[in-house]
């Protein structure tokens, strides 16, 4: 995802589910936003719900290297936090401009590991106005699984999902259910997936 440009994600059937124009939709449309503060990147997507999933109307991504030096001393450095703050200010501006009310903002491995991770998240809430939640490795694995629902082979009952991040990799064993109609060409319904087991590996 490039700054100011929305991304596109192509499904298995060749159709494009996520389409970005870089422009926000009218405030009357229900807008949803997802913000991911990772070890290396800060990413934001703003989308509206459509008949075929979601349509991305704005996006942002910046390399922040939040986890730089974390292995050496176990804390987020002032330089790394400053880089993250600058990116988060851009995200906050985009969210305010689009008047997004439904926001899910998460922080992952760097903030999980750092002794000052929770303190940094609180500073972001106070100074920038974004409420980040430091999620567990299990929740990160579940979110990765849910993000892949439309990409699974509908004829399969099991799937292996790898979420390779800057600070950790989540490997998930997923059991698929409710895909019979989708595979047979009948009336479609949302696929279901159950996280059977998972493991998180530090990078």
| Residues 130 and 162 placed together within one structural domain of the fold | no
* CA nearest to 101, candidates 30, 4, 35, 6: 30
Same domain (yes/no): 56, 155: no
Say if residue 124 is in the same domain as residue 156: no
Question: Does residue 188 share a domain with residue 158?
Answer: yes
Strands (E), 95-182: 102-107, 133-134, 158-164, 168-177
**How large is the average pLDDT for residues 36-44?**
96
- Using the predicted structure, report yes or no on whether residue 80 has a pLDDT greater than 50: yes
Residues 157, 92 share a domain: no
End residue of a domain, out of 135, 167, 192? 135
Distant-in-sequence contacts of 13-21, Cβ < 8 A, 24+ apart? 15/52, 17/52, 17/53, 17/54, 17/150, 18/47, 18/53, 18/54, 18/55, 18/56, 19/55, 19/56, 20/56, 20/57, 20/58, 20/59, 21/57
> By residue range, what is the domain housing residue 61?
9-135
Does 4 map to a domain? Answer: no
How much of the chain, in percent, has pLDDT values that exceed 90? 48
What single-letter DSSP state applies at residue 126? H
**Helix 78-98 vs helix 117-127: crossing angle, to nearest 10:** 40
Instruction: List pLDDT tens digits, range 123-148.
Output: 999 999 999 999 998 898 888 888 77
In this structure, the answer to whether residues 51 and 116 fall within a common structural domain is yes
The CATH number for 51's domain is 3.30.420.40
> Is 189 found in the same domain as 127?
no
Helices (H) and strands (E) in the chain, counts: 6, 10
């Amino acid at each position: 995802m490039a700054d100011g440009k929305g991304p596109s994600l192509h499904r298995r059937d060749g159709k494009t589910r996520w389409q970005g124009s870089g422009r926000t939709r009218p405030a009357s449309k229900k807008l949803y936003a997802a913000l991911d503060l990772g070890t290396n990147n800060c990413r934001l997507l703003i989308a509206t719900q459509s008949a075929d999933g979601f349509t991305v109307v704005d996006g942002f991504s910046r390399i922040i290297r939040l986890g730089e030096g974390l292995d050496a001393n176990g804390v987020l450095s002032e330089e790394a936090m400053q880089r993250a703050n600058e990116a988060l200010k851009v995200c906050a501006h985009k969210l305010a401009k689009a008047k997004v009310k439904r926001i899910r903002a998460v922080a992952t491995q760097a903030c999980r590991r750092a002794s000052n991770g929770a303190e940094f998240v609180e500073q972001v809430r106070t100074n920038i106005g974004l409420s980040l939640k430091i999620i567990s490795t299990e929740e990160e694995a579940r979110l990765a699984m849910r993000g892949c629902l439309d990409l699974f082979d509908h004829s399969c009952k099991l799937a292996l999902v790898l979420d390779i991040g800057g600070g950790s990799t989540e490997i998930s064993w997923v059991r698929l259910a409710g895909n019979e109609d989708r595979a047979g060409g009948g009336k479609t319904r949302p696929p279901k997936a159950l996280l059977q087991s998972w493991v998180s590996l530090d990078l």
